[in-house]
């Protein structure tokens, strides 16, 4: 039967994820600081709350899908102010620092309830189509108990290890993503300047060893892939702001573990510079335009 599921953070990702939970017969209890986001879920049958503490007390599971470390941490502090039902299982799917995850886990554990990190990859399309990959950090029992509910929103639910290890996996993947997009952008630009037809060269790249998601699915050269953000002035997609945030988190865990990440560090610097040029809200493939175009110098 359906569970009572609390959902906090109904943005680009969370709105779709909450809707998919409802499609599986769960009863949704939602909170967001955006009235519009709440109204949208209300029209689909969710119950809207004006604070996360009351929401949590009504929920078997609570899922949070929020922008950053501080907002996630503050939301969990607010969530426990009226006490916690020990049977409530808390799941954070935001992309945040593994250290913050461990602190939240401790806070929830002290209240007698359970918490795991379960960040996602797959983007807004994966959220909409319920094909997300969830990377879970917690005990074996916790993984087994959370798997079913996550399967309403994703198709691959992976146990990565203990608390924070879901975030570790997510941040390593996104560091690679940030690096590979820079690599594809400068490579495509070089090919074009050498006189190669960008479409012909993209096809060579995608049937050769340079192939990756940034070359094949989200190629940053305008006009090559009609459905990619590059073909609509880099609107929508995965923002430069978000990849910059994720590379900052990756830089933090690289520092903590004393791991050299020269390429990740360079990519982070490039995206930070792009943000300072006003490109933060564009898809990160805009790095192609940034590298190509003198106007940014």
**Whose CA is closest to 214, among 243, 191, 190, 185?**
185
248 binds ligand NAD (CB under 6 A): no
Binding mask 189-208 for ligand NAD (x = CB under 6 A): --------------------
Number of helices (H), then strands (E), belonging to the chain: the values are: 13, 9
Q: Which stretch binds ligand NAD (CB under 6 A): 5-13, 41-49, 84-92, 106-114?
A: 5-13
Q: Which of 47, 53, 54, 67 binds ligand NAD (CB under 6 A)?
A: 67
Q: From the list 80, 123, 151, 173, which residue makes contact with ligand NAD (rule: CB under 6 A)?
A: 123
- Which one among 10, 169, 287, 291 touches ligand NAD, defined by CB under 6 A? 10
Please tell me whether residue 94 binds ligand NAD under the rule CB under 6 A: yes
Q: Which lies closer to ligand NAD via its Cβ, residue 191 or residue 247?
A: 247
C-alpha distances out from residue 106 to 52, 73, 102, 180, 228, Å:
19, 12, 6, 36, 41
- Residue 11 or 210: the one with the smaller Cβ distance to ligand NAD is 11
Contacts 24+ apart (CB under 8 A), 192-200: 192/221, 192/292, 198/224, 199/224
All residues at 6 or more sequence positions from 74 whose CB lies less than 8 Å from its CB, including other chains: none
Active site (catalytic) residues: 170
Q: Which residues pair with 159 in a beta bridge?
A: 136
Least Å distance, CB 191 to ligand NAD, is 28
Q: Report the residue count for the chain.
A: 297
Q: Which of 57, 71, 80, 224 binds ligand NAD (CB under 6 A)?
A: 71
> Of the two residues 8 and 188, which places its CB atom closer to ligand NAD in the complex?
8
The answer to whether 169 contacts ligand NAD (rule: CB under 6 A) is: no
Q: How many CB atoms lie within 10 A of CB 87?
A: 11
Per the rule left: phi > 0, alpha: psi between -120 and 50, beta: everything else, 32 is beta
Options 9, 138, 178, 220; binder of ligand NAD; rule CB under 6 A: 9
Q: Residue 237 region, left (φ>0) first, then alpha (ψ -120 to 50), else beta?
A: left
Least distance in angstroms from the C-beta of 199 to ligand NAD: 26
CB of 195 to ligand NAD, least distance (A): 35
Alpha-carbon torsion (198, 201, 205, 207), positive or negative: positive
Residue 120 interacts with ligand NAD (CB under 6 A): yes or no: yes
Spatial separation of the C-alpha atoms in residues 297 and 294, rounded to whole Å: 6
Which residues sit at the interface with ligand NAD, rule CB under 6 A? Answer: 8-14, 31-34, 37, 65-67, 71, 75, 94-95, 120-121, 123-124, 238, 242
């Amino acid at each position: 039967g359906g569970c009572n599921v609390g959902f906090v953070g109904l943005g680009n990702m969370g709105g779709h994820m909450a809707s998919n939970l409802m499609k599986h017969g769960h009863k949704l209890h939602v909170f967001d600081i955006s009235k519009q986001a709440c109204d949208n879920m209300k029209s689909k049958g969710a119950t809207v709350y004006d604070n996360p503490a009351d929401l949590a007390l009504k929920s078997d599971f609570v899922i949070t899908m929020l922008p950053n470390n501080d907002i996630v941490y503050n939301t969990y502090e607010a969530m426990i102010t009226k006490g916690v039902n020990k049977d409530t299982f808390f799941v954070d799917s935001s992309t945040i620092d593994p250290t913050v995850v461990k602190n939240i886990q401790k806070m929830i554990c002290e209240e007698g309830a359970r918490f795991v990190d379960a960040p996602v990859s797959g983007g807004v399309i994966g959220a909409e189509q319920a094909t997300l990959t969830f990377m879970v950090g917690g005990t074996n029992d916790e993984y087994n108990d959370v798997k079913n509910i996550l399967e309403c929103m994703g198709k691959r639910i992976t146990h990565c290890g203990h608390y924070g290890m879901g975030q570790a996996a997510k941040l390593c993947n996104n560091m690679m993503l940030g690096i590979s997009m820079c690599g594809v952008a400068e490579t495509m630009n070089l090919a074009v300047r050498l006189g190669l037809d960008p479409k012909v060269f993209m096809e060579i790249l995608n049937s050769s060893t340079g192939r990756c998601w940034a070359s094949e699915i989200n190629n940053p050269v305008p006009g090559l892939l009609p459905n990619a953000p590059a073909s609509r002035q880099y609107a929508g997609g995965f923002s430069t702001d978000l990849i910059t945030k994720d590379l900052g988190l990756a830089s933090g865990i690289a520092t903590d573990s004393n791991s050299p990440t020269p390429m990740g560090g360079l990519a982070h610097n490039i995206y930070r510079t792009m943000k300072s040029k006003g490109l933060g809200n564009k898809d990160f493939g805009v790095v192609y335009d940034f590298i190509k175009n003198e106007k940014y110098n």
